[in-house]
């Protein structure tokens, strides 16, 4: 099977390529390498094309003869502010559109798996004791400034309890990156309807693991904390540290992609461990795994308006339709990650 992996030299993409090559697939990697300060770590058998996914001619050549496409290329992370909007839309929306047009012109009707994210949900799922399942409104600056981080019931103002988010939940992107991920899903779904190709969007939760990019404004929280510890500094935990997330190991995410490529199931799937932890739990576990002398986490009370409070996924559908269940537990994964190499 010939598989094209866009962004295949990246964090998640590189692990996908390793697993595909290990299973004997013929893998073409499409990656601009602009995010790499050093040559990427890829199996020798992978055919690396140093190509920007927005380069129509080069992408058309790369997808020739493809049986399946795994679209990982994207500008990731929350970004700094709205000054990033054109870069996100160009890399993510236009990049996806160029890829899909290249596939259309090749009459590709094979398997298409695209990387999405839990950020498409906005806030997670909440219940009010009086009003049942409710959707909190956007976070308010005056609440956050006062340290009121938990969203109240929009009907009565009472405290809410979190619940697991299923794939049928309404989409509510609350930052530019999230909006581009929704658009990627929608464009890919349109392609599937027009061509008969089977299309699956994998909504990654908080991915961490070896070869994660070092601390940048676009890095994930696990990388930011890990980089702080490497510099001998305490991880700075925003809000009160109580934000709940699902931290899923990159090897599990790669395996979910490989399973999805071998499936014909259409639609979106959560890729999550099913074992939620707070951001403070993450920082504390990393500090403990770093060994004697490591600093303790520092809870700062800072916030980013585009962040959400709790997002915890239901992994049930991925288990049912792909047979996917995460294998790396939180403690074991972070014990490894505390000493694993990061990508410069």
- pLDDT band of 267, cuts 50, 70, 90: very high
Whether 11 shows a pLDDT value over 80: the answer reads yes
Q: Rounded to two decimals, what is the model's pTM? A: 0.94
Alpha-carbon gap, residue 54 to 91, rounded angstroms:
7
Contact 313, 118 (CB under 8 A): yes
Q: Which H, E and C letters describe 98-141, residue by residue? A: HHHHHHHHCCCCCEEEEEEEHHHHCCCEEEECCCEEECCCCCCH
| pLDDT score at 80 | 64
Alpha-carbon gap, residue 28 to 4, rounded angstroms:
5
Chain-wide mean pLDDT for the chain? 94
List the single range of 47-51, 133-137, 195-199 with lowest mean pLDDT. Answer: 133-137
Whether 269 shows a pLDDT value over 90: the answer reads yes
| pLDDT score at 52 | 96
Q: What is the pLDDT of residues 281-328, one digit of tens each?
A: 999 999 999 999 999 999 999 998 878 899 999 999 999 999 999 999
The owner of tokens 């502010």 is 81
Q: What is the pLDDT of residues 68-117, one digit of tens each?
A: 999 999 998 766 678 889 999 999 999 999 999 999 999 999 999 999 99
Alpha-carbon gap, residue 308 to 297, rounded angstroms:
21
| pLDDT score at 131 | 97
- pLDDT band of 343, cuts 50, 70, 90: confident
Contact 67, 27 (CB under 8 A): no
Q: Provide the CATH topology of domain 2-125+164-339.
A: Rossmann fold (3.40.50)
């Amino acid at each position: 099977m010939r598989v094209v992996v866009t962004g295949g030299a990246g964090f998640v993409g590189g692990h996908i390529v390793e697993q595909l090559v290990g299973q004997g697939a013929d893998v073409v990697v499409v990656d601009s390498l602009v995010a790499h300060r050093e040559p990427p770590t890829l199996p020798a058998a992978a055919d690396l094309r140093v190509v920007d996914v927005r380069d129509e001619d080069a992408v058309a050549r790369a997808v020739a003869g493809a049986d399946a496409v795994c679209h990982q290329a994207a500008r990731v992370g929350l970004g700094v502010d709205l000054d990033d909007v054109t870069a996100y839309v160009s890399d993510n929306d236009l990049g996806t559109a160029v890829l899909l047009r290249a596939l259309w012109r090749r009459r590709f009707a094979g398997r298409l798996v695209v990387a999405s994210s839990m950020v498409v949900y906005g806030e997670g799922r909440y219940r009010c004791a009086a009003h049942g399942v409710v959707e909190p409104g956007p976070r308010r600056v005056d609440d956050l400034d006062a340290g009121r981080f938990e969203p109240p019931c929009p009907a009565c103002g009472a405290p809410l309890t979190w619940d697991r988010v299923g794939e049928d939940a309404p989409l509510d992107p609350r930052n530019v990156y999230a909006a581009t991920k929704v658009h990627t899903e929608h464009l890919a779904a349109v392609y599937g309807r027009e061509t008969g190709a089977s299309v699956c969007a994998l909504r990654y939760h908080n991915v961490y693991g070896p070869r994660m990019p070092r601390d940048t404004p676009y890095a994930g929280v696990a990388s930011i904390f890990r980089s702080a510890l490497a510099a001998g500094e305490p991880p700075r935990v925003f809000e009160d540290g109580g934000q709940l997330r699902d931290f899923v190991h990159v090897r599990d995410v790669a395996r979910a992609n490989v399973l999805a490529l071998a499936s014909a199931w259409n639609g979106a799937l959560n890729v999550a461990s099913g074992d939620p932890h707070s951001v403070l739990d993450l920082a504390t576990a990393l500090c403990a795994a770093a060994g004697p002398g490591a600093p303790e986490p520092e809870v700062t009370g800072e916030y980013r308006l585009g962040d959400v409070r709790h997002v915890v996924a239901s992994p049930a559908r991925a288990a049912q339709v792909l047979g996917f269940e995460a294998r790396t537990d939180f403690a074991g994964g972070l014990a490894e990650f505390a000493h694993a190499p990061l990508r410069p």
